[in-house]
Structure 1
Amino acid sequence: MINVQYQAPTEQLQQLVSSLYRFDYSGHALREVERADRAQFRIMLYGQGSYRFADGNEYPTYPVTVIGPTTRPFEAIASGPVSIFGWGMLPAGWAALMGAEAENWIDKAFDARRIFGDTIMDLREELIALAEPAAQFALGEAAAAEIYRNLDGAPFEFTAMVDRWLVDDSDPDVDVLIAESGLSPRQLERMTKRYYGMPPKKLSRKYRALRAANRIAHGDSLDNSDLGLAFYDQSHLTREVKQFTGLTPGQLRAGTSKLTTATMMGRSALGGKVSPLISDS
């Protein structure tokens, strides 16, 4: 059985963290698809497993794992029960933590001890000792605030502009973003690759597909809606949704992936507390 609990970040963290969550799986072998997403910071409370990405590379679930922005769906694999506490990292949060090009870390995972050393294990032990999700969320928020304390150079203005562009139109036009930013196409591509891991056109496609997938998973029809009309036809919709979620519209409606369903329903419940880019995708 899969259970995912979500919590909206505090106002202090809203430009850095998309949401905090606790994931629990109580069954035997687990092999679930995770849709393309923003970067993730994950602390293994118990259990072990791995992440297999679209390029065939497989990474273990380290005690504390950082997953870069993902451009394709990937597999979450475990041999038995698993519990994970984590949070999604918004592009400004990635920049504040890593200070590195997101493009170089797409579809990859690494041991957080590469950044923090063994001190990050103290946070893990404290979370394990608390056990109760409410207390873990409180500690996680405090830890994230400390982790993101150095905000020098965090691109808040740029990422707010890009996020607004992604939200305001069902089929965001790159030319609109070029005009608003005042950047050349090449400069804009370099900036979005640096903070989001991909060029603006692919970023637009990713969130268009994820928003459509979310609506479909909730049983909504896209017929004659602005979002539905953003796709050429049903085949185009199916290809795009599958490319970024690993699932067809029919599989989303049927709830084939319990993890994807739990993720989308949990984030949607945060509506009004987080950006629509988070709750609607």
Structure 2
Amino acid sequence: MDHQERDRAEAFERRRAELARRPLTSAALIKLEYIPVPEPLAPFITTFFHFTCDEQLISDLRPASAGLLIFFLRGHGELFVRDGTIDASHPASLVTPLSAAAPILVDGPWHVFGAAISPLGWGALTAGLSAAEHANRLLDAGSVIDPSLTKFAHDLAARYNATGDTPGLSGDEMAELASAVLQPLLRPVPAAHVRLIGIVAEWLGGALSPMVEDLASRSPYSPRQLQRLVDQYFGLPPKQLARKYRALRAAALLGHPDTPPDQIAAVEEQFYDQSHMIRELRLFAGRTPARLGAPDAPVLSALLDLRNFQEVSPSFAALPDGFGA
């Protein structure tokens, strides 16, 4: 390790230690609104959202979920990745698919409008970039997707802040504006890849712990081709993808107060033992089972909300039939 790398690693450890000591932001201080996506965009974006918090410093966690396109209206932040990378936000930010939960720290007030991107949306917006090769990053969407997104982010923020503290645009108005900008940026995805994304989505939704052999039997591709394409659109190979969504859906079910005992028992059976479940949930969801649903991580709680696995359509990691009802 050279001098610069050592300094960077030491700086990261100092920031991470500072972050660990800082209490997470209370859910009572945060507002989150989900906005439906117009039908033509629905295969590519699962939902729009408008998130606001007027605290001066916001500390939270982002679970290992799919990609997000975020327009910063107020505030700026950093994403802390396990490999020592600290990525700063951009006016138009692309949070790529994460393979592990990651802390976030934001200088507020923090107001953003964003879009949750499906695997098909990743391929269409990035012109086929590998989600695995670009995973675990907070990137400039203007560079990765299209420069027009940077201009749109500045224009959106200007209109949003034109009336002072009171937002000058509603969530619905921003959704309409964003839809008009994003629709022309969608590139064609090969039809065979679209079919494979659908096969993977059905496979993920078929069981809490889907078997890779089951996916291989449904796929028209060789094992090597299958791994490469799942990596490209989902950010992880099939085995790790199943592991990630087992943990995220387990966290959603265990953290919901109305999950019945038989479903909780079924979730627990997906893991070798209690310590295995704790390790997996901590890695992918950023929480141990005992801390799920706690009020001090509202970003994490929102992204692990059961509705994300039940009601967002089309879902690519839906709960299997009989769960979450």
TM above 0.5, yes or no, is yes
Say if 2:172 is the partner of 1:134.
yes
Give the SS at the match of 2:287: coil
Q: What 5-or-longer segments of structure 2 have no aligned partner?
A: 1-28, 160-167
Corresponding residue pairs, total: 278
- Distance in 2, Cα, partners of 1:195 & 1:46: 30
Give TM-score, length-normalised by structure 1. Answer: 0.91
Matches within 5 A, 1:28-43: 28-43=56-71
Shift of the alpha carbon at 1:5? 1.1
Check whether the contact 2:201–2:317 (CA below 8 A) recurs between aligned residues: no
Check whether the contact 2:47–2:312 (CA below 8 A) recurs between aligned residues: no
Aligned match of 1:55: 83
- Distance in 2, Cα, partners of 1:163 & 1:185: 17
- Distance in 2, Cα, partners of 1:133 & 1:165: 33
Shift of the alpha carbon at 1:255? 3.3
Say if 2:107 is the partner of 1:79.
yes
Aligned match of 1:234: 274
Aligned match of 1:268: 307
Give the SS at the match of 1:146: helix
Write the letter of the residue equivalent to 1:174.
V
Give the SS at the match of 1:230: coil
Aligned match of 2:162: none
Give the SS at the match of 1:47: strand
- Distance in 1, Cα, partners of 2:86 & 2:52: 21
- Distance in 2, Cα, partners of 1:33 & 1:120: 25
- Distance in 1, Cα, partners of 2:132 & 2:82: 16
Matches within 5 A, 1:7-156: 7-98=35-126, 99-115=128-144, 118-128=147-157, 129=159, 130-148=168-186, 150-153=187-190, 155-156=193-194
Aligned match of 1:202: 240
- Distance in 1, Cα, partners of 2:308 & 2:87: 31
- Change in CA separation of 1:152 and 1:195 when aligned onto 2, cut-off 3 Å: closer
Give the SS at the match of 2:133: helix
Say if 2:308 is the partner of 1:250.
no
Shift of the alpha carbon at 1:206? 0.6
Deviates more, 1:95-104 or 1:152-161: 152-161
Check whether the contact 1:3–1:262 (CA below 8 A) recurs between aligned residues: no
- Distance in 1, Cα, partners of 2:133 & 2:175: 30
Q: What 5-or-longer segments of structure 1 have no aligned partner?
A: none
Check whether the contact 1:2–1:24 (CA below 8 A) recurs between aligned residues: yes
Aligned residues with identical type, % of pairs: 27
Check whether the contact 1:20–1:137 (CA below 8 A) recurs between aligned residues: yes
Shift of the alpha carbon at 1:270? 8.2
Shift of the alpha carbon at 1:241? 1.0
- Change in CA separation of 1:18 and 1:276 when aligned onto 2, cut-off 3 Å: closer
- Change in CA separation of 1:187 and 1:104 when aligned onto 2, cut-off 3 Å: same
- Distance in 2, Cα, partners of 1:69 & 1:269: 16
Deviates more, 1:252-261 or 1:168-177: 252-261
Write the letter of the residue equivalent to 1:268.
R
